[in-house]
Amino acid sequence: MLQVKPPDGYPPEAGRYVRGNDYSPVAVCVILDTFDYAIPADLNELVMSGADIGAALSGMLQTENLGLEKIICNTVANPNIRYIVLCGRESTGHLPGAALLALKQNGIDEAKRIIGSQALTPYLSNIPVELIDRFNRQIVNIVNLLSKPGATDTTLPGLNPKVVEEAVRSCYQENPVNFMDYTLHDVGAYPEPAIVHKIVAKLNQPQQAVEPGKSRMGLGLVLHKLLPQTDCRECGKKTCLAFAIDLVKGKSRLEACPYLEKPEYSESRNALAKLLD
């Protein structure tokens, strides 16, 4: 079975990941559905489970554009990586998990927009088309364990470290094994040389046009992540998302949410206040 030593400079992009077994055929991608200064313990555990059981890389994906570009760069720099185990819970607004799946299934259009993605800005503007095409050829399958936004039940496959470990273990078996709806085994390294590409033009790419209302909606989604997300309606709105959007529009105030007055939400309240300042 073909295995290759990753080149110097691998992995080319820094990020929230752990480097594991360079010869492993699988990487683990955990969706980060909150701010990076308050990463939940359950997501950290998923990352470490993937690394401990033998993934080549195990880390987090937060955005559907630059974050996904970094994953592409680090993947094509190691031809041994042929699978991605996608887990955690989807992030509203950015929808990076769905963007990754859409990229693998549909590719990109002439504007480098991920075809079929419902994310806010699913553009891969900072990397060459050749890298994106190579990524889609190199990755045989994405093992989709992703849970729905807001899920907390650790018995769900995407939030269960043991299930993630089993998914990774299945990918590096010599003979095909059944895992959920997938048939997995180590198919060997991709038969073309590694491509080491580092993103250097993050500030030089033209900004994509934003449809009217999208930027306001984007901030509303950011605020929503910091709200209690109980949908209790005590603020007068049907959902916390509706309350967040009204905060952006100046139609509501933070004081309308009784939960934000509680000590355990003081950090979230301070962050919300700074974003609205």
In percent, how much of the chain has pLDDT > 90? Answer: 69
The answer on 136 and 47 residing in a single domain is yes
Q: Which two tokens stand for residue 256?
A: 């309308």
Q: What digits encode the pLDDT tens for the residues 154-187?
A: 999 999 999 999 999 999 999 999 999 999 999 9
Residue 174's pLDDT is 95
Domain boundary among 184, 201, 228: 184
- For residues 160 and 236, state if they share a domain: no
Q: Flag whether 149 is in a domain.
A: yes
What CATH number does residue 233 fall under?
Answer: 1.10.15.40
Q: Is residue 65 part of a domain?
A: yes
3 part of a folded domain: no
124 occurs within a structural domain: yes
**172 and 253 in one domain?**
no
Q: Is residue 252 part of a domain?
A: yes
- Which pLDDT score is estimated for 206? 47
Looking at residue 25, what is its pLDDT?
A: 98
Distance CA 50, CA 112 (A): 30
Residues 107 and 234 in one domain: no
Q: How many domains does the chain have?
A: 2
Q: What is the pLDDT of residues 103-145, one digit of tens each?
A: 999 999 999 999 999 998 899 999 999 999 999 999 999 999 9
Is residue 221 domain-shared with residue 162, that is, in the same domain? no
- 21 vs 208 pLDDT, higher one: 21
| pLDDT, position 213 | 42
Same domain (yes/no): 94, 230: no
Q: Count CB atoms within 10 A of the CB of residue 42.
A: 15
- Domain span at residue 270 reads 214-276
Q: Are residues 161 and 244 in the same domain?
A: no
- Residue 127 shares a structural domain with residue 251: no
Shared-domain flag, residues 172 and 37: yes
247 and 147, same structural domain? no
Let me know whether 234 and 102 are in one domain.
no
Q: Given pLDDT bands bounded at 50, 70 and 90, which one contains residue 277? A: confident
59-100 residue pLDDT tens: 999 999 999 999 999 999 999 999 999 999 999 878 999 999
pTM of the model: 0.76
| Domain-located, residue 5 | no
- Residue the block writes with tokens 């650790």: 154
Q: Is residue 110 part of a domain?
A: yes
Is 169 found in the same domain as 75?
A: yes
Decide if 153 contacts 42 (C-beta within 8 A).
no
pLDDT tens digits, 216-260: 566 777 788 788 888 899 999 888 888 988 888 889 999 999 999
Whether 128 maps to a domain, the answer reads yes
The pLDDT of 195-224, averaged and rounded, is 63
CATH number, domain containing residue 73? 3.40.50.920
